[in-house]
Amino acid sequence: MPPTLMTHTVMNAPQARLELLIVAVVIALVVALHAVLRRIVRTDTLRRHNDVAGYLFSAIGVLYAVVLGFVVVVVWEKYDSTVANVEDEVSAASDLYHAVAGYPPLLQRRIRGDLREYAAAVIRVEWPAMMRDAPVPDDASKLLEDAAYRVATFSPRNAEESDAQQAATAQVLRVFDARRQRLVQAAPLVPSVLWFSLIVGAMAMIAFAYLFGVENQRTQLTMTGILVGLIAILFVVVHAFANPFSGSVRISDEGWLHFTAHEPQIR
């Protein structure tokens, strides 16, 4: 039986702390600017426009909340599907490792050797490259192609070997598909134009918060801080899940490590 495979998400603590620090700095700057504006503009002057500003703030707030919520859902679904795809790639490689058990011993060892080298290359080369958002080298792909060539060019001599070749061919295709999908999903999901729209929308929300006149200045500054903090935290969430291999919450290579750790038991 194939080993139990696991793919987990891990928290990059230094990067997460940096993101939280940036959120705190943004909140402090926006609240400080609001405090300065409250000193310059009288509360009575702002209060005259509360009704109009309230209607516009509600309309823009609903629109922005829908867009921001939609982006959060999309990046979360991408992250979830990426985790499932990584697990599928590891599972397909493990299934292929077992499927060639019906091959002649020498060819079986060569194919399994290619798979072991492929897993090692994914761990040592591809995962660090994806964590840096750098281009992924083709070294591991060549190893997988070698295994696929050995599977495809084998000439079965009996029904057992024929069944083994059919099963192995299916798993080869599965590994290639999952690998291709992983490399596509490693690219950031949110384009620059969408980030620009989200930032402009956040600035508009903050600007409207400045237009309200509340008698208690401390209460109003607290509300502004909560608004900015919520938007900033959601920005962090979007960034983290849009970059599934390089964000503060990233997909680990534990599935491949688990695969390589069980290889001696299935040779």
Q: Is the pLDDT of residue 227 over 90?
A: yes
Mean pLDDT of all residues in 108-116: 93
Question: Which amino acid is present at 3?
Answer: P
pLDDT interval class at 266 (50, 70, 90)? very low
77 residue type, one letter = E
Contact 154, 165 (CB under 8 A): yes
Q: Which residue has the tokens 């620059």?
A: 192
pLDDT of residue 263: 63
**Residue 183: closest CA among 242, 255, 245:** 245
Range 170-194 average pLDDT: 91
Q: Are 226 and 31 in contact (CB under 8 A)?
A: no
Residue 161 has pLDDT above 90, yes or no: no
Helices of type H across 186-216: 192-210
Rounded CA gap, 256 and 215, in Å? 60
Closest CA to 86 of 132, 133, 122: 122
CA distances from 196 to 33, 56, 65 (A): 22, 21, 16
40 has a pLDDT exceeding 50? yes
Q: Are 233 and 20 in contact (CB under 8 A)?
A: no
Once rounded to an integer, what is the mean pLDDT over residues 36-65? 79
Tell how far CA 187 is from the center of its chain: 9
Of 140-144, 209-213, 217-221, the one with minimum mean pLDDT is 209-213
Say how many C-beta atoms besides its own lie within 10 A of residue 263's C-beta: 15
Query: Rounded distance, CA 43 to CA 65, Å?
Result: 28
